[in-house]
A and B are shown apart, each in its own frame.
Chain A
């Protein structure tokens, strides 16, 4: 029962998703897995648990989304305390160098399938902090971002709309950032090391 796909202004329909006609008298294990994957997508889409890891200033919008006026629980979304339980990693706002190390560590602790949602322009091109000595300018080099929500501090409506968009992506099976991370793991790793130098930092405070 996935929704009809609608090419949105924002994202081109990725070419990979051609549907191939297959004789249906005996469902091969591959199809069976795929059918089950579709059903699983439905469950994954409608019960998204987000890790409220508030990296930047856009986080102030989340309480609005959670509470009575916009109530994201209608979409089946709940804030969760630990990365193990969460599906979505919210990068709300700029990601500084130190925060990136923690983001990577937390991202790797999450169970798959997992999605990254980036708020505001700071994740896209550094936003207003593009010339700061500590802030990264492109998040998607280090983490596979599934959804960007525009707005320097996106309004709650934008956030809700973004989440609905994410649900559509998941149901249509397009939100495959985590597969991409696994497939191009070394590319991501090299970017990370090049930017951060050493993810697991060892210094006076961590021995």
Chain B
């Protein structure tokens, strides 16, 4: 698996291996490396990466593994000079869904965490602003992107449907009357 980034990846892998024993290489694609990280090591790894050149936090995304009752938070950092993207995947328990905030490392994380809180319900400790609503105005149900959220039921409950008689025709059908 010869890829052009060897001269960049090799030192990184060596360093990470040396510094963080528990961090395990999960996937090694051409321009992207994914690490498996424990919640308590997240901050150290991020700090190291930031100093090593990975200055931009592109994205924090969340995956809902409902079967094994876990959320997977993926931190996506990018280094413009070397062009290598590093993903840190971290699993947290789905029940009390908590994680440490990283806004002191990357200011940009504020809105990512707020969005994840709104759509998944993950509470980021140390970032009170993230508890406020972001996109959904006046939302009154469980966070919508959770796997156990039934969108159709909500739609049926909330929005008035248009009912058609089984016989489709110009006269019947569309309750289109307008007095």
A residues apposed to B, CB below 8 Å:
9, 12, 97-98, 101, 124-126, 130-138, 140-141, 180, 191, 195, 197-198, 201, 203-204
Contacts and interface: CB of A to CB of B under 8 A. Distances in A.
B154 A133 contact: yes
A-B complex: 3 closest residue pairs judged by Cβ atoms:
A131-B152, A125-B162, A137-B159
B138 A198 contact: yes
Contact size range, B: 20 to 34
Nearest to A195: B159
B170 interface: yes
Contacts of A137: 155, 159-162
A132 B144 CA distance: 10
Given A133-B158, A195-B160, 5 more contacts: A124-B174, A132-B151, A133-B144, A203-B133, A203-B137
B29 interface: no
Of the listed residues B135, B151, B159, B174, the one surrounded by the most CB atoms of chain A closer than 10 A to its CB is B159
Interface of B: 132-133, 135-138, 141, 144, 149, 151-152, 154-155, 158-162, 170, 174, 176, 178
The prevalent SS among residues of A at the interface is loop
Given A12-B170, A97-B137, A197-B138, A138 B160 contact: yes
A132 B176 CA distance: 23
A71 B152 CA distance: 40
B18 to A, nearest CB: 45
7 contacts: A9-B170, A130-B155, A133-B151, A133-B155, A134-B136, A140-B176, A198-B138
A201 B137 contact: yes
Given A124-B162, A137-B159, A138-B160, A98 B137 contact: yes
Contacts of B158: 133, 195
Nearest to A176: B178
A112 to B, nearest CB: 18
Contact of A125 (B137, B141, B151, B161): B161
A198 B140 CA distance: 14
B155 A132 contact: yes
A138 B162 contact: yes
Contacts of B162: 124-126, 137-138
Contacts of A140: 176
B154 A141 contact: no
A181 B96 CA distance: 49
A206 B144 CA distance: 24
B50 to A, nearest CB: 29
B92 to A, nearest CB: 25
Contacts of B155: 126, 130-133, 135, 137
Contacts of A98: 135, 137
A136 B176 CA distance: 17
Nearest to B135: A98
Nearest to B154: A133
A169 B149 CA distance: 44
Contact of A126 (B133, B144, B159): B159
A12 B152 CA distance: 34
B59 to A, nearest CB: 22
A9 to B, nearest CB: 8
A95 to B, nearest CB: 11
Contacts of A130: 155, 161
